[in-house]
Amino acid sequence: MTPVPSAEAPRAAGTAGAAAEKRGRPGEKSAVSITNETLVTDPSKGKLTTTTRSAAPVKPSAADAPPSRTIASEMPFDESAPAPAASEEEAKWRAAARNARERVETLKLRITQFEGEEAKLQSDFYAWDDGQYRDGVIKPAWDRKKAELEEARKGLAEAEKELADLPEKARKAGALPGWLRE
C-alpha cells in the first residue's frame, strides 16, 4: 500500500518547513534573537566567556619551578654528537621481523598454489586415456610439482622456526620486545 497525502495535510518545503509544521508554527519565526548580549545575560540560552589579554606575558620564576626539573629547551644541544644508534637497531629488528613474517606468508601462499596444481596434475593423470601422453608428459610434470611442494613445505618449516626464534635472538642482542611487533 502506498501512502497518499490527504488534501488537509499541509505541504512543507524542505526539512526546515517540515520541522516547523510539526511544531505547529508553519512559517513563524522565533521571537528570540541570539546575540552576544543575550548569551551573556540570559543563562537559559548559554554563557559566553571572554578574556582579555594582558600586556606582558607572565614568565614563571625559577623559584616556582621544582628544583629537580629542567626544561628541554634550556638544555644545550651538541651538534657534533652522533645520532643515537638505537633507532638504527630498531629499524634493523623491525625489518628482520617483517621479512620473517612476509617469508612465512609467501611460502604458505606458494604451498596452497602448489597443492592446487598438484591436485590438477593428479586428476589429469588418472583422467587421460592416452597412456603414452600420460606417462611421457603428465607424470613427469606431476613428479616435479610434488618435489616443488615438498621443498616449499621444508622451507615453510624453516621459516616458521626462524620466526619463532627471532624474539629470543633479539632479546639476546638487546632489542626491545616492541620492535618485533607489527
pLDDT beyond 50 at 77: no
Element (H, E) at 133: helix 131-133
The 8-class DSSP code of residue 63 comes to: T
Nearest to 152 by CA among 99, 116, 107: 107
Per-residue pLDDT tens for 125-166? 999 889 899 999 999 999 999 999 999 999 999 999 999 999
Give Cα 120 to chain centroid, integer Å: 38
Q: Who contacts 45 (Cβ-Cβ below 8 Å, separation ≥6)? A: 32, 34, 38, 39
pLDDT digits (tens, 9 = 90+) for 3-25: 665 555 555 456 666 665 666 55
Determine which of 56-65, 131-140, 172-181 has the lowest per-residue pLDDT on average.
56-65
Ordered alpha helix ranges (H), the chain: 14-23, 36-41, 86-127, 131-133, 139-173
CA angle in degrees (0–180, nearest 5) for 18-24-29: 80
pTM for this model (two decimals): 0.50
